[in-house]
Chain A
Amino acid sequence: MIASRFWDFAGAFAHPVTAVLVGGAVAVIVAASLVIFVLARARKVGPALEKELWLRTFSWALIVPAIVVPVLIGPAWAILAVGALGLLCYQEYARATGLFREPAVSVAVVAGILFLVFAALDHWYGFFVALFPLGVVVIAIASIPQDRPEHYIQRTALGVFAFLLFGVGLGHLGFIANDPLYRPVILMIVFAVAVSDVSAFTTGKLIGGPKLLPATSPNKTISGSLGALAAATVFVSLTAGAIYGDALALWQRALLGLLIGACAQLGDLMLSSIKRDLHIKDMGAVIPGHGGVLDRFNSLLLVSPAVFHYVHYLIGFGEAQPIRLITGS
C-alpha cells in the first residue's frame, strides 16, 4: 500500500486527461522554441529579446518536468514536491521580509509545514485541519521565551501569514494527491493557472485599455484580467468535464474555472502588494527570467485551498480511500 504511494508507474498515464495535459505542455514548449528559432532566423527579434525569450523557455522546460514528474510517479512524491515548494517559498519570503533573522519563528513555521506534509502523506484529514490552529499557536509562542517583546507582533504576524500561505494554502494542493484522480486534477489546476497568466499577458497586450490596480502592479490591465478569467473558465470547463463527466454540471465547472482564474490573479496581486510594501522587485533570482520561486508560483497559494474546498463540497476528495496510512494500525 505504502509502496504504491511512491511508485505507481502503471497509473502515470492511466487517465487520458493526464496524457493530454502532459503532451500539451511538451508541445507548447517545443512550439515556443520553434517560433523563437524562426523569428530569430528571420531577424524579427533583436538579440537581447531573443536571449530573454530563450531564457524564459528554458526555465519553463525545467519547471514543467519539476511539477509533472513527481505528480506522475506517485502521490507521495506529489505531496513531497508540494511540501518542498512550500519550503522554498517560505525561504524567499523570510529573506525578503527579514523574518529569517528570527530563528525561533522560522523553525516553528518550517516545522508546521513539515507536519502538514506528514498529515497529507498519512491521509489524515483530521490532523491536517487540526494543524491550522495548532501551527498558529506554536508560532505565537515561539519567540515568547526570548523575553524580547519589541516587534513581537511583527515577527509573529509575519510567521503566521507565511504558515497559512505556504503551509496551509499550498498544503491543500498536496492533500489532493490522496484522491485517485489526483493526477489530472493537480495538472488541471497548475495548467489553468498558467493559462490564466499567459492570457492576462496576451489579451492585455492586444487590447490594452485602463490599468487594473496601477499602484500595486503597473502592467496589469482590466482587459487582461477579463481575458484571463475567460480563458481559465473555458480551459477548466473542458478539462473538468473530461475528468468528472456529469458529476459536475457545466455551470459548476464554469464556476470552478472562474474561481481559479480569480484566485490566480489575486495571488499574483497579493505577491505584488508584498513586494511593493517591501520595496523589492523580485523575491529571488533562482529561476532565470522569472525571478524567484514565489514570483512563479504565487497564484497557487490562493487557488489551492479554494479549489480543494469547492470540489470537496461538491464531490469530495479521496472519499473511499484508506486513511491514516502511517499512523493507523
Chain B
Amino acid sequence: MEDWRFKPAADLGLTPAQRLRSLQREAGLPGAIGQALWWNAMRLYAAAVHRVRVEGREHLPAEPPFVLVANHASHLDTIVLMTSLTRAQSRRAFPLAAGDTFFDAGLSAAFAAGALNALPVWRSRTRRQEIDALRARLADDRCIFILFPEGTRTRSGEMGAFKPGLGALVAGSEIPVVPAYLDGCWRALPPQRKLPRPLPIAVRFGPALRFADRANDKDGWHAVAAASEAAVRTLGGLAPRGPAPPAAS
C-alpha cells in the first residue's frame, strides 16, 4: 500500500492574527462561508445598484492561474471585477489589497481576510521574499490575483502609471495577464465620497497578455507594467501615456 499524501494548510502554526496577514492563508470552511455570503451579497448589489455591464468575458482564461489588472478609481473596483467572474473563478480569486489600509487594524484585517479573501501588499516596504511568495503561490495553487498596478486610487480621475511590481509576479512565466478597464467607478465613488452614487458601471476585458519571454528582472518588470498599462489604456480609449515627466529635483 502506498503512503497517503497529506498536505497540511500552508499557514499552519501561525497565530490567528498572523494568519489574517499571511500570504499563505488558506480559507477553511468558516472563510468559505464568509466569502460566499459577502460576494453573493455583492453580486446582488452590483447588479441592482450599478447595473454592471461586462464586455469581453471570453478573454478570461478557462482555467486559473491568471492575473487580472485594471485601472483603480474607487473601492467599488474590486467588487465589480470579482462579481464579473464566475462563482467557480471567484472562489480561486485573491484581491491584492494595500496592507496599510486593510490589514493594520484587527477588525479590518478580519474583514479583508474573512469576507474579501484579500492578501496584503505592503506598498512602501514590500520585501523581495514577499513578492517571491506571491509569485510561487499564484502558480502552485492556481490562483487568480486581482491587482491594481497603479498602487492607489486615482485622486484626479486620470489613470496613473503602472508600477513594476506586477512584472515581478509574471515576468518569465506562462501565466497570462488579463487587462480590464473599469468605466463609471470614478463617478460612482470617487475617493472624496463616503457612500457610492447609484450610477451605472461597465467593465471591459481585453485579450490576455503573456510575458514568458520577458526576463524576471527590473527591465522585464518595467516592460510588463508598460505593456499591461498600454492594454488597459487601449480598452478605455485613452491616449497612450507620454514619456514620464522629469522627476522633480
Contacts and interface: CB of A to CB of B under 8 A. Distances in A.
Interface stretch (B3-11, B148-156, B158-166): B3-11
Interface stretch (B27-35, B57-65, B82-90): B27-35
Interface of B: 4-9, 12-16, 18, 26, 28-30, 32
28 contacts: A91-B28, A91-B29, A91-B30, A95-B9, A96-B9, A96-B12, A97-B6, A98-B6, A98-B8, A98-B9, A100-B9, A100-B26, A101-B7, A101-B26, A103-B29, A103-B32, A106-B28, A110-B29, A154-B4, A277-B6, A278-B6, A280-B12, A280-B13, A284-B12, A285-B13, A285-B16, A285-B18, A286-B15
Contacts of B14: 285
Interface in A73-118: 91, 94-98, 100-101, 103, 106-107, 110
The 7 closest A-B pairs by CB, nearest first: A95-B9, A98-B7, A100-B28, A285-B15, A106-B29, A96-B8, A154-B4
Contacts of B6: 97-98, 277-278
Contacts of B13: 280-282, 284-285
A72 B16 CA distance: 29
B8 A280 contact: yes
A110 B29 CA distance: 9
B29 A95 contact: no
Chain B residues touching A, majority SS? loop
Nearest to A110: B29
Given A277-B6, A278-B6, A286 B28 contact: no
Interface of A: 91, 94-98, 100-101, 103, 106-107, 110, 154, 277-278, 280-282, 284-286
Contacts, number: 50
Contacts of B32: 103
Contacts of B29: 91, 94, 100, 103, 106-107, 110
Contact of B8 (A97, A103, A110, A154): A97
A31 B13 CA distance: 31
Given A100-B29, A107-B29, A286 B9 contact: no
Contact of B16 (A100, A106, A286): A286
Nearest to B30: A91
Nearest to B9: A95
A284 B13 CA distance: 5
Contacts of A98: 6-9
Nearest to A286: B16
From A94, A103, A282, A285, residue with most partner B Cβ within 10 Å: A285
B28 A94 contact: yes
Contacts of A91: 28-30
B16 to A, nearest CB: 6
B34 to A, nearest CB: 13
A198 B18 CA distance: 30
A199 B6 CA distance: 34
A107 B32 CA distance: 11
A70 B4 CA distance: 39
A94 B28 CA distance: 8
B16 A95 contact: no
Contacts of A282: 13
Contacts of A284: 12-13
Nearest to A153: B4
Contacts of B12: 95-96, 280, 284
A113 to B, nearest CB: 12
A17 B48 CA distance: 61
A122 B207 CA distance: 59
A98 B16 CA distance: 18
B18 to A, nearest CB: 8
